[in-house]
Copies of this chain bind each other. A is one copy, B any other.
Amino acid sequence: MAKSRFEYVKKFELPDPLMPNTYIIVRIDGKGFHKFSDVHSFDKPNDVRALDLMDTAAKTVLNEYKDVVMAFGESDEYSFLLRRTTTLYNRRRSKINSSIVSLFTSAYVFHWARFFPNTPLLYPPSFDGRVILYPNIEEVRDYFSWRQADTHINNLYNTTFWALVHGGLTTAEANKTLQGTNSKDKNEILFTKFGINYNTLPEMFRKGSVCVRSLSVEEPQKSFPEQQAAHGIMTLSIGPSSSGNSNTVLSRKEKVYQGTEGSPMVLHVDIIKDLFWSERPWLLS
């Protein structure tokens, strides 16, 4: 087709490639979700339906983008980790950022009715997104530790705050009561005033959601150590096996596994300690 004399305006689209061989994290945040959660009567301090919806939207992103190897979410935010060597969209910053935030948003609205069958969506919610690069493994680990520590801090506060409110305080009074308190104080308030042992609350609330892929293997439960089973994960790092053959095959597969195959699943586990990462060496390789 003939080019128009207006085509020169394309020259103003400047390149925005991300540095090669660097970890890419895309973090999205809900916009105005304080109001959004009020309007849609979210349970306080945590609404399981809303969290499940967030997790489902995150899984949609992992299903679409094979180079997104992991995600971590809490409240109205989610962070996506892309493989260090990904060449997705030629590593164009805006393209990666906008595509992921758009798909996440789309999935959130698309699946709303499934998780909130009795709560009509009153207006379209939105998220913003940003790209952060990390050169080293340690920093990626610390990034996710930062988010999970934040989950804990926020949840402990919110749990105590809403216990006080449900116990009869105004929100202003609850706020005042919590001013200057540390973690220990809040645990104490929960336990003595409300009989709540914080550590027994659902891990989804205390640890947030981590979304990773797992290769489906036959009967993985059998050979799994207790610890891993507790995490509900299915990996290929299978221990002693009666079948030398299958072991060899699996080992070979394991070597090339880059976290891009298999179905994404959501866990509520510690990602600050080493175990989660050592079980999934492909995440940071």
Instruction: Write the residues of chain A forming the contact surface with B, with a CB cutoff of 8 angstroms.
Output: 1-2, 4, 6-15, 17, 19-22, 28, 31, 60, 93-95, 97-99, 101-111, 121, 123-136, 139, 142-143, 145-146, 149-150, 153, 157, 182-183
Contact = CB atoms under 8 A, between A and B. Distances in A.
Contacts of A103: 31, 105, 124, 126
21 contacts: A6-B146, A6-B149, A9-B132, A9-B139, A12-B20, A14-B17, A21-B136, A28-B102, A31-B99, A94-B131, A99-B127, A102-B126, A102-B128, A103-B124, A103-B126, A106-B108, A106-B109, A106-B125, A109-B124, A110-B121, A111-B124
Nearest to A61: B126
Nearest to A10: B146
Contacts of A31: 99, 102-103
A136 B139 CA distance: 13
A199 B136 CA distance: 40
A126 B127 CA distance: 13
Taking the full assembly, how many copies of this chain does it contain? 4
A2 B180 CA distance: 10
Contact of A99 (B2, B60, B128): B128
B142 A1 contact: no
B146 A7 contact: yes
Nearest to A89: B128
Contacts of A107: 124
Contact of A106 (B7, B124, B131, B145): B124
A12 B133 contact: yes
A211 B128 CA distance: 23
Given A4-B146, A6-B146, A19-B19, 5 more contacts: A1-B157, A2-B153, A6-B145, A22-B135, A106-B108
